[in-house]
Amino acid sequence: MTDIAQHWINGEWITSTATGTSLNPADGGEVGTFYDGGRDEAQSAIAAARTAFDTTTWARDRVGRSRILSEIAQRLEARAHELATRLTQENGKRYIESAVEVATAVGALRHGAAQALLDAGAAAEVAPGMYFSTLPEPIGVAGIIVPWNAPVALLARSLAPALAAGCTTVVKLPAQTAITNAMIATLISETSIPAGVVNVFTESGSDGGVLLVDSPDVDVISYTGSTTTGRIIAARAALTLKRLTLELGGKTPMVVFDDADLDMAVSILIVALTTFSGQFCMTGSRILVQKGIADELRERLRQALSDLDVGPGDDPNSQMGPLIDRASVQRVDTLVDEAAAYAKTVVRGGPVTDGPLAAGAFYRPSLLEVERTDVPLVQQEVFGPVATFEIFDDENDAVHKANATEFGLAAAVFTKDLSRGRRISRLIKAGTVWTNVWGVVNDRFEEGGFKQSGIGRLRGDLGLAAFQEIKTYVQIAN
């Protein structure tokens, strides 16, 4: 490695013609310089992954795959503080959020190491002397496209099952976290992983990503990002009948019933809105409250959001860091301005334009009360710390409003009646529904979206199956 962050392809460090600069969203300062990849780097990475899959024993070596995944987990864990610090510098999120993200990635890799050793086949004598059996096989080359909002955790979430299944991989990482990307690639390169099994390139544009989707040498795409881009990927991937795992946009309804513990609910609602500065597919961006407690909850939220300390992610007093860049600040603020035509302002946040934070991309959270569900602020993913406050009458009304968008990634229900919690959770159309908690995932259990929030599942048994084909063997005894 040089001082300019490079790509890691076929076991070697690779440069590009173009370069870019990574900036700290907290102050606009330079974090580092990186080589900015594209189609050429993607093509080299695909070729390396294809060769490694077709000509080595990687796909058949369960023990070796488990060992490599354990090695990667060990490297990340050993450098966890440094990696989290770098992520906070580039991404802007609070250090505690970065530290949790790295720990989550380590857990996913260790879970993958265990999954690699599983033999999930089946066998039966279906008739006298006639034997059927099935065995999972790796699907081939996996293209993994990772977003900037949680690049360490979301990389591991796809990479771990892909490697556990026996796939070789091409990883496109975002330019916003280029220096973090290079550190991850360095940690992987320090293991005994065979050349070509994991190939990593950073790209600010989309040419390399498009090639991953179009190439017949890539067998599966695992993408996390916007629904708009997910639709484009699905359309292009259809030309090669490529397997897809798409975790897309969300508009998480946080449904608060009148019997909820409001002290607990308020604390969780604030965290759900401000984690990653609201730049999260599971951000609690819709607060649905039963009418009997609406006035009290509105006031509690108004006070909590007004008092929230916004600041740099490396400041332990900060409760929310900056957005990823100033363009995002302007985009979010425009959406809030436009909402004035149909919404009542509970808390009007906005850009921080004076004082020591003015040089950064800071945005104070906003809460806007709406009566209709067909308005843009309800129907569109903001990807920032902006929430709607919506009042419902009863359980039927709560479910109707919770399901009123095209999204279905996650939801949360707050009630002391656990039977109600289970009942409402069954009726909400979302891939994950929490009761009296938010944001908790586990590698043993699947994660993914309903409706326009995605295709397929990550984590759990289905997360592994996304990178496998099933082959059936038939034998007849003589």
Type of residue numbered 255: V
User: Which candidate in 90, 97, 281, 381 is catalytic?
Assistant: 281
Buried b (16+ CB within 10 A) or exposed e, 49-65: bbbbbeebebbeeeebb
Assign residue 350 a region: left if phi > 0, alpha if psi is -120 to 50, beta otherwise? left
C-beta separation of 224 from 202 below 8 A: no
Type of residue numbered 427: L
Give the CB-side neighbour count of residue 65, counting CA atoms within 13 A: 30
Under DSSP, is residue 243 helix (H, G, I), strand (E, B) or coil? Answer: strand
Residues with Cβ within 8 Å of residue 239, at least 6 apart in sequence: 214
User: Which candidate in 41, 101, 247, 447 is catalytic?
Assistant: 247
Give the CB-side neighbour count of residue 429, counting CA atoms within 13 A: 13
Rounded Cα distance, 281 and 296, in Å: 28
CA dist 96 → 46, 73, 107 (Å): 35, 19, 17
Under DSSP, is residue 439 helix (H, G, I), strand (E, B) or coil? Answer: coil
**Annotated catalytic residue 167:** no
Length of the chain counted residue by residue: 478
**Annotated catalytic residue 101:** no
User: Is the torsion defined by CA of 223, 226, 227, 228 positive or negative?
Assistant: negative
- Tell me, letter by letter, the H, E, C secondary structure of 221-234: EEEECCHHHHHHHH
Active site residues: 247, 281
